[in-house]
Amino acid sequence: MLFFIYILFAGMFRDVSALKCYKCDANRVDFWIGVDNVPPFFDDCPVVESEKQCFASIRWLTIGDLKESLVEYEDDSSEEYRPTDSTLSYVFADVERNTESASSRILLYSCTTDLCNDRTNLLRVFQALNVEQKFAQLDVLFGLDNVSFTEQNSCLDFSNVSRSDCPSTAIPLSTCSNCFLLATETPQQLCARCPVDSFKYKNMINRQVFFFLENRTRLADTTTLRCTTKSCNSMENWNRIRELSTLEFDFNRFYSSSSSTIFHSTFILSFNVFLLLTYLF
C-alpha cells in the first residue's frame, strides 16, 4: 500500500526540477496595445522545459510614423542587467528614445512556476505597471547624427563605480563621438564620460528598473544618456530624465488579482488529495 501511494504521489508531482514554460515567437500588431486591447495571441503555444525561469514580454516600438507592438512567450532571455544575487521572479520595465526609432517601451515578466508565463499573468503584470515618458522634451540634447561631434571638452568626466558598462574616457579626446552618462539609484552610482566606443546610437535616452515580486522590492533604477550638445551629460539632465518619466509597479494590485486563482488551485489540489487518502484508507 505504501509503495502504491509513493508511486501515485510521484506521478502527481513528477518533473519538479523541470520547469514548464509556454514558448511562442513574437506576434506583431501595427498599433500600440493597451491593457484593454491585448489581442488573444498564442492560444496553442507549445510547452517546453526551462532550467530556471519562464518569460513573457510586450514590446512597443515606433519606427518613423509607424507604431507596432510585439507579444512573446519565452523560456530564455538576456539577463545581463539583472542585479547580482537577486531572485528570478520579477518585472522589468524599460523606456527609450533615440534619433532613429523615436521611442520604445519594454515590459518583461520573469517567473518560476510551471506555465506561469501565460496571458492571464501577463495581463496582471500589465495592469499593475505604470510606464510613461515625455523624453521628446529632451530632444534639445541631441545633435545631428551625421554631423561631427566637437563638444568633447564640455562632457562631464567622473565615475564612482567600476562596472563593465562604464566606458573609458577617449584618448585622444577627439576620438569621442558623444557625451555619456550612466546613473543608478539606491545605491547611487554614476559614470560620466566622453567615451571611445562603437555604440549604434550617438543620441539616446534610456531608463529601466526591476521590480522583484517575492520581496516587493524596486532595484536598479538606471538611466543611460548619450548626447551630442554642449555639457549635455550633466546631473541636471539626469534629474530631468527622471522627472519626465514614470516607471512604477503596484505590487498590491498584482497580488490581489491573483488571490482567487491561487485559492482555487490550492483548494482543488488539497481536496483531490483528501479524496484520494479517504479512498485508500
* Ramachandran angles phi, psi of 251, nearest 5°: -60, -40
Whether the predicted pLDDT of 185 surpasses 90 = no
Whether the predicted pLDDT of 244 surpasses 90 = yes
* Ramachandran angles phi, psi of 90, nearest 5°: -160, 165
For the entire predicted model, the pTM comes to: 0.81
Whether the predicted pLDDT of 105 surpasses 70 = yes
Q: Looking at the DSSP assignment, which residues form a beta bridge with residue 245?
A: 133
Read off the pLDDT of residues 126-184 as tens digits, 9 standing for 90 and up: 999 999 999 999 999 998 777 888 999 999 999 998 888 888 898 899 999 999 999 99
Take residue 56 and report the three cell numbers written for it.
513573457
Burial 21-58 (b: 16+ CB within 10 A, else e): bbbbeeeeeeeebeeeebeebbeebeebebeebbbbbb
Q: Are 98 and 203 in contact (CB under 8 A)?
A: yes
Look at residues 177, 173, 171 and name the one whose alpha carbon lies nearest to residue 148.
Answer: 177
Please report the pLDDT score of residue 63 as a whole number: 77
Whole-number average pLDDT of the chain: 82
Please report the pLDDT score of residue 69 as a whole number: 92
As a whole-number percent, the residues of the chain with pLDDT over 90 amount to 48
Higher pLDDT, 184 or 266: 184
Q: Give residues with Cβ within 8 angstroms of 22, minimum separation 6.
A: 42, 45, 46, 47, 48, 54, 56, 73, 115, 117, 118
Please report the pLDDT score of residue 232 as a whole number: 96
Mean pLDDT of 179-205: 88
Whether the predicted pLDDT of 274 surpasses 90 = no
Higher pLDDT, 278 or 231: 231
Mean pLDDT of 252-278: 54
Whether the predicted pLDDT of 276 surpasses 70 = no
DSSP 8-state class, residue 214: T
For the chain, how many residues are written? 281
